[in-house]
Amino acid sequence: MTVAYFQFNAELNDFLPRPKKQVKISYSFTERASIKDVIESFGVPHTEVDCIKVNGKNVDFTYIVQDEDNINIYPISATNLIQSKINLRPKRLNIISFVLDIHLGKLATSLRLLGFDTLYRNDYDDEELAIISHQQSRILLTRDKGLLMRSLVTHGYYVRSTNPQQQIVEVLRRFDLFNAVSPFQRCLRCNGLLEPIAKEFIVHQLPETVQLQIDEFHRCQDCGQVYWKGSHYERLQQFVESVLSNGN
Ligand SMILES: [Zn+2]
């Protein structure tokens, strides 16, 4: 019988059932298989993997698993995603931008509020998401492991939390983005950038109380949505502060 031994390191264990966490796993096989396929058969998307060592030597995802191989798999961390040499990542990301699957609408709004370039539509299908991520080098955020197992997706992240408030903190931590936060720069509706606009140009669109009380406005360059510091602003400001307090 042919057998190989797999050890998943650090947060890659999040994907494994309890008996397989933090232990060397024996994997018996009869058919030729790439290491990408075997890793993903354990439920670990390749997008979470930064480095694979077989018998102490680095290999890429096409490596064919051999009898008696000792395999160590290491996760991507915030530092090696952005800064250092990356073994299995096809290219370094200098600019962080995102595309999100349809279930992460609240996270998308939070990312836009904090200034991050975030594509989101509630009608993107899996194929479109994979293509957008690939073509635009956008990090695909999803809770669908199968989507991250597509070969086309090279930069992706499985969002662990199901709570939107925790998800935004998780993503900022993972990609080391607390210092990159630049709130109130983007349209929450469409991701367009905001620009200052003189009141006289948009006064006809405003509710009467706003016409009387507010003088400073911004408008989305893409969809034309007008923003001002109204009653909702304080709530958003508090949200931003509560998120940023996790970065200390
Ligand atoms: Zn807009």
Cross-strand bridge partners of residue 70 = 5
Which one of 10, 42, 76 terminates a domain?
Answer: 76
| Weakly modelled stretches of the chain, pLDDT under 50 | 82-86
Which one of 180, 211, 238 terminates a domain?
Answer: 180
Query: 212 and 170 in one domain?
Result: no
pLDDT at 79 (0 to 100): 55
Query: 172 and 129 in one domain?
Result: yes
Helices (H) and strands (E) in the chain, counts: 9, 12
Beta strands 25-29 and 2-8, pairing class = antiparallel
pLDDT at 92 (0 to 100): 57
> How many domains, in total, are found in the chain?
3
Query: 210 and 155 in one domain?
Result: no
Distance from Cα 199 to the centre of ligand 1, integer Å: 18
pLDDT at 76 (0 to 100): 83
Distance from Cα 121 to the centre of ligand 1, integer Å: 13
Query: 66 and 7 in one domain?
Result: yes
Which one of 180, 202, 230 terminates a domain?
Answer: 180
Residue 82 lies inside a defined structural domain of this protein:
no
Residue 163 lies inside a defined structural domain of this protein:
yes
Polymer length in residues for the chain: 248
As a whole number of angstroms, the distance between CA 187 and CA 165 comes to 19
Distance from Cα 232 to the centre of ligand 1, integer Å: 17
- Nearest to 54, CA basis, from 2, 3, 4, 10: 4
Residue 84 lies inside a defined structural domain of this protein:
no
Domain that holds residue 43: 2-76
pLDDT at 85 (0 to 100): 42
Record the tokens describing residue 77, joined without a space.
């961390």
Distance from Cα 214 to the centre of ligand 1, integer Å: 20
Residue 88 lies inside a defined structural domain of this protein:
no
Query: 153 and 131 in one domain?
Result: yes
Region of 183 (left: φ > 0; alpha: ψ -120 to 50; beta: rest) is beta
Record the tokens describing residue 115, joined without a space.
């200034």
Distance from Cα 25 to the centre of ligand 1, integer Å: 49
pLDDT at 83 (0 to 100): 41
pTM of the predicted model, to two decimals?
0.88
Query: 199 and 137 in one domain?
Result: no
Residue 23 lies inside a defined structural domain of this protein:
yes
Distance from Cα 247 to the centre of ligand 1, integer Å: 28
Record the tokens describing residue 149, joined without a space.
């197992």
Distance from Cα 116 to the centre of ligand 1, integer Å: 14
Query: 65 and 20 in one domain?
Result: yes
Residue 102 lies inside a defined structural domain of this protein:
yes
Residue 216 lies inside a defined structural domain of this protein:
yes
DSSP 24: P
Domain CATH for 32: 3.10.20.30
Residue 135 lies inside a defined structural domain of this protein:
yes
Query: 105 and 72 in one domain?
Result: no
pLDDT at 95 (0 to 100): 82
pLDDT at 248 (0 to 100): 75
Q: Kind and range of the H or E element at 158? A: strand 156-158
Distance from Cα 192 to the centre of ligand 1, integer Å: 5
As a whole number of angstroms, the distance between CA 72 and CA 58 comes to 9
pLDDT at 233 (0 to 100): 93
